[in-house]
Structure 1
Amino acid sequence: MTELQAQTHTVVFDGRRLDIESLCALAQGRAQAMLGADAEFRGRIARGADFLDRLLREDGVVYGVTTGYGDSCTVSIPPALVAELPHHLYAYHGCGAGRFLTPQETRAVLAARLASLCQGVSGVSVALLEQLAQLLAHDVLPLIPAEGSVGASGDLTPLSYVAAVLCGEREVWFQGQRRGAAEVLAQLGLTPLRLRPKEGLAIMNGTAVMTGLACLAWQRAQTLSRLAARLTACNVVAAAGNAHHFDERLFELKPHAGQQRVAAWLRADLCSDRPARNEQRLQDRYSLRCAPHVIGVLEDALPFLRGLIENELNSANDNPLIDAQQERVLHGGHFYGGHIAFAMDALKTAVANVADLLDRQLALLVDARFNHGLPANLSAATGERAAINHGLKALQISVSAWTAEALKLTLPASVFSRSTECHNQDKVSMGTIAARDALRVLELTEQVAAAMLIAARQGFTLRERIDPALRLSPALAAFRAELEDRIALVTEDRALDADLQRLLAALREGAWSLPA
């Protein structure tokens, strides 16, 4: 089944508030985009374009319409050349580099830009919005280089690839192939746009790339938070840990809501209403005992970060803004991506700490000095064959490497502002770099989590060999069954890379049963 065939609902773009889940559904091919047909909405869009036309007829001065861009705002454009200016904007910004955004990331960018332009204050035509919606509807994905934006004056360079494709230029990813935009538009019966005054600036002068990526990052972080709590429960069982570290009364006395929520998940998973076993440590090591305090930081941050990201997603963030209702042109700096930069710098730090927590838990589990009777490296080999089998020894090394790289990337991007464009853009957000960093930290942390799923599979079986009367909560018993369906027990040494990739795919598809 293709992503488009899997779509289950429609997201209508008409200026109403869009949430992270709707954008991610579009990005993941689980929803279809449609431009609103409401007459009031379309009339509001048309009035902005008409007001801009009237200003031009009356010789009004509008930045980026009758002037050059950025530091060139003092350059007046001869009336005969005004129509050419938008095409020059996307032409000279065609200097991106690095990897291309993935199809999922590209859909997120297109949806974020469409959401902003549908606020109705960018001076664009209904035809432009229709064309942008058609790219999403037909899954025509501009090939957008990931690098080249400083995140103020908008995501100019990456968004130039969207503008160019709307006009039938550059390349797209379509039906599994890299093709010329003009050829694909013709195949679909779509006419390349000739951008109206201000439309090039409206497409490019905004925060759509960083915001689209931020929505994806937020959703992945939410999944990781819940999975980390479930994995911690697995590791407490495997290590014969003390479930009473998550006592409800204890967490009433430090009332961070997210931290309390993580502790509640752990209580439910561990059946902590049962008496403590005598052989347990009175106090487990911090990576088990303090898991709610680590995961809880992420869990508490997510609602706050959602607010920042969704406000940006539903903002008019180009410049200038065209207020047709009050007949004003508003020159400002809404293209500045500071809120997304902060959100992504914060998110990647909280997520990397979760990676570090899981890494420490695995280090305990594989070490026979600390795992309360489990075999070294969680090897399931027995008898004389135990001598030549190494269990998860190498996997623990890889987890350490992935964790170290994630931690290294937590240096905040937002503090690395550079003065650019003849010191016109002399303070910039670096929001897009922060968002890309966050996605890389998430990717690494997901790899850590996938490894921990293998460790949990081993841990349950090996603990049960020591304690045949091992009892699990219904939720943890179901999770164990799911693990055993997906992962064969590691008895004889084998390469685990294929297992890791399957587990990662399932994680990213939302296939695991997690606390709600």
Structure 2
Amino acid sequence: MATTKATIKFGESRLTIEDIVAISKQEKHVSISHAPELTNKIDSALAFLDRLLKEDGVIYGVTTGYGDSVTVKVPLHLVHELPLHLTRFHGCGLGQLFSVAEGRAVLATRLTSLAQGYSGVSWELLHLLAAYLEHDIIPAIPQEGSVGASGDLTPLSYVAGALIGERDVYYKDQIRNSGEVMTEVGLTPLVLRPKEGLAIMNGTAVMTAVACLAFDRANYLTKLAARITAMASLSIQGNSHHFDEILFSVKPHPGQQQVATWIRNDLNHAEHPRNADRLQDRYSIRCAPHVIGVLQDSLPWFRQMIENELNSANDNPIIDGQGEHVLHGGHFYGGHIAMAMDSMKTAVANLADLADRQLASLVDTKYNNGLPSNLSMSDESRRYINHGFKAMQIGASAYTAEALKQTMPASVFSRSTECHNQDKVSMGTIAARDAMRVLQLTEQVLATTLLATVQGLRIRIERKELDLASLPVAVQAMYNDICSFFEPLVEDRPMESLLRFTIDAIQTQRWALYQ
């Protein structure tokens, strides 16, 4: 029976990271609220701008140039062309295009900000953004070209340009001109009001959208890294006492304690030792909660920063229509997203490093407690020519090195630009893109190590050194599911397609972990 998708009403209440992720996956419909409070904000801001334009004749970005060109007065007969030129001269983005899912997140994030009611935009603009999401018409946005203040000007110009019918969009698995697509589906290109070009472009929507998606992936990886640690410990017949409840009660980091609990439950550890026969495993097993826990404990403040930015009015100037104020400031500055993403990529890269070290122990006969070299399951007579996980471990080391290299904070590389008007910038979009790259590389490492742990468990089970039925149901289910698409690695064979399938399983969150 088909389920009805819920609808998110923009401008009605505070949105969450999960809302943006759901929209990016087309799991929810969108609409615009017409609650009295929002209606009053939108209508009063439009009326105030129109009145101010007639009475004073000077409004930044409406009757003046932009940025360093603020002293350039635009003749009234050209005011309505100015926003069109803003969208056009910023059409210089480079690099790969953001994906369709990322583009949906960008539209939803910008709509969240504009629907706060402090940007001086029309109902037509708000409803067209919602219609784009409902029709799945997604601007094709180059990833490069933003310094993160004044917001994401260049990438967001591709949103503005699409809404007026001039730029390209993704539609039905093709990249086409937005004007043609709008004609096809019965939408009318937007005619920009005097401040609307600036309102669309002068904000943090790209970096914040990417941050929402990054958070979702990082949150899943904390759980996956815990499950992999448990499976690695089982494979090397490790010491479950390293995750003991009493042990972790004396170091009260809640995220670290949560990770230890997950691993402890996966290992069915229930008894508190007086002492242990096997004293200490290597740090990559024993200290895993301390590594994964850093990310788990950081997620709440990442969420706070991302969701506060998401639910903010972050363009310039801010239009207070009810109080009749034009407020000039710097809310386009993406410093909070930059800090969150720079911190996240460091914590995530440490998961890659942890899993890479766990893999190193699994494949090495000096450390794996009796497992075959490189986890090869070949017959004794053919062990001379079979190599198991040897090359995959090399690959994991490469992915890990690249992830660690990407952890240099982007936020410290501010560059004065735009004739020194933008003389201190956030680099938040670069930080967010870096975080996504680190996540991709870390997912590749975790995919490799996950497969290795399954191979190790297979060997223990085949040797009757481990009873699968003794493991928790969730661990059994995940092991059996992976075995359904991962045949035992006996004879050497190409593993790329399996790795790609496993990475996709991670990115689509195939396994419900610690629900």
TM-score of the pair, normalised by structure 1: 0.97
Instruction: Confirm or deny: 8 A CA contact 2:106 2:205 kept in the other structure.
Output: yes
**Matched AA of 1:506:** A
Higher mean C-alpha deviation, range 147-156 or range 460-469: 460-469
Give the conservation status (yes or no) of the 8 Å contact 1:242–1:276: no
Q: Indicate the residue corresponding to 2:160 in structure 1.
A: 163
Q: For the residues of structure 2 that align with 1:286 and 1:468, how far apart are their CA atoms?
A: 24
Number of the residue aligned with 1:297: 294
1:80 aligns with 2:82: no
Deviation for aligned residue 1:41: 2.2
Q: Superposed, which structure 2 residues align to 1:184-223 within 5 Å? A: 184-223=181-220
Q: Contact 2:460–2:466 (CA<8 Å) still a contact in 1?
A: no
How many correspondences in the alignment?
A: 512
Asked whether 1:512 is paired with 2:511, we answer: yes
Find the partner of 2:141 among 116, 141, 144. 144
> Among 409, 413, 421, which residue is 1:412 paired with?
409
1:130 is aligned to 2:127: yes
Q: In structure 2, do the counterparts of structure 1 residues 203 and 6 end up closer, same or farther at CA, with 3 Å as the change threshold?
A: farther
Is the Cα–Cα contact under 8 Å of residues 67 and 77 in structure 1 kept in the other structure? yes
Matched residue, 2:38: 41
Q: Distance in 1 between matches of 2:251 and 2:419?
A: 51
Task: Report the counterpart of residue 443 of structure 2 in structure 1.
Answer: 446
Letter in structure 2 aligned against 1:262: V
Q: Deviations over 1:191-216 (max 9, x none)?
A: 11110011000000000000000000
Q: Which residue of 1 aligns with 2:502?
A: 503
Within 2, Cα distance between the matches of 1:473 and 1:505? Answer: 25
- Is 1:237 matched with 2:234? yes
Indicate how the Cα distance of structure 1 residues 275 and 386 shifts in structure 2: closer, same or farther if over 3 A, else same.
Answer: farther
Give the conservation status (yes or no) of the 8 Å contact 1:416–1:430: yes
TM-score (norm 2): 0.97
1:467 is displaced (CA, Å) by 3.9
Amino acid in the other structure paired with 1:477: Q
- 2:413 aligned with 1:388: no
Task: State which drifts further: 406-415 or 28-37.
Answer: 28-37
Shift of 1:397: 0.5
Q: What aligned pairs does 1:408-487 form with structure 2 within 5 A after superposition?
A: 408-470=405-467, 471-487=470-486
Distance (Å, rounded) in 1 between the aligned partners of 2:346 and 2:261: 24
Provide, for residues 412-465 of structure 1, a one-character-per-residue CA deviation record: whole Å limited to 9, x for no partner.
000000000000000000000000000000000011111122112101111223
Of the candidates 85, 89, 94, which is equivalent to residue 91 of structure 2?
A: 94
- 1:275 to partner: Cα distance: 7.7
In the other structure, the counterpart of 1:318 is 315
Q: Which runs of 5+ in 1 are unaligned?
A: none
Shift of 1:240: 0.6
Shift in Å at residue 388 of structure 1?
Answer: 1.5
Describe the shift of the 1:268–1:480 C-alpha distance in structure 2 as closer, same or farther (beyond 3 A): same
Deviation, structure 1 residue 252:
0.9
Provide structure 2 residue ranges, at least 5 long, that are not aligned to the other structure: none
Which residue of structure 2 lines up, in the alignment, with residue 69 of structure 1? 66
Decide whether aligned partners of structure 1 residues 371 and 303 sit closer, same or farther in structure 2, where only a CA change above 3 A counts. same
Alpha-carbon distance, 1:233 to partner: 0.1
Distance (whole Å) between structure 2 residues aligned to residue 467 and residue 431 of structure 1: 52
Q: 1:329 aligns with which of 322, 326, 330?
A: 326
Structure 2 partner of 1:400: 397
Equivalences for 1:271-282 in 2 at 5 Å? 271-274=268-271, 281-282=278-279
Is 1:250 equivalent to 2:250 in the alignment? no
Deviation at 1:474, TM superposition (A): 2.6
Deviations 1:459-480 (A, max 9, x none): 1111223444533233322221
Partner Cα separation in structure 1 for residue 454 and residue 274 of structure 2: 23
Structure 2 match to 1:489: 488
Whole-angstrom CA distance in 1 between matches of 2:258 and 2:369? 28
Match for 2:9: what amino acid?
A: V
Which residue matches 1:339? 336
Structure 2 SS opposite 1:387: coil
CA distance in 1, matches of 2:352, 2:495: 19
Root-mean-square deviation (Å):
1.6
Distance, in Å, in 1 between the alignment partners of 2:272 and 2:386 is: 37
Shift of 1:354: 0.6
8 Å CA contact 1:149–1:432 kept in 2: the answer is: yes
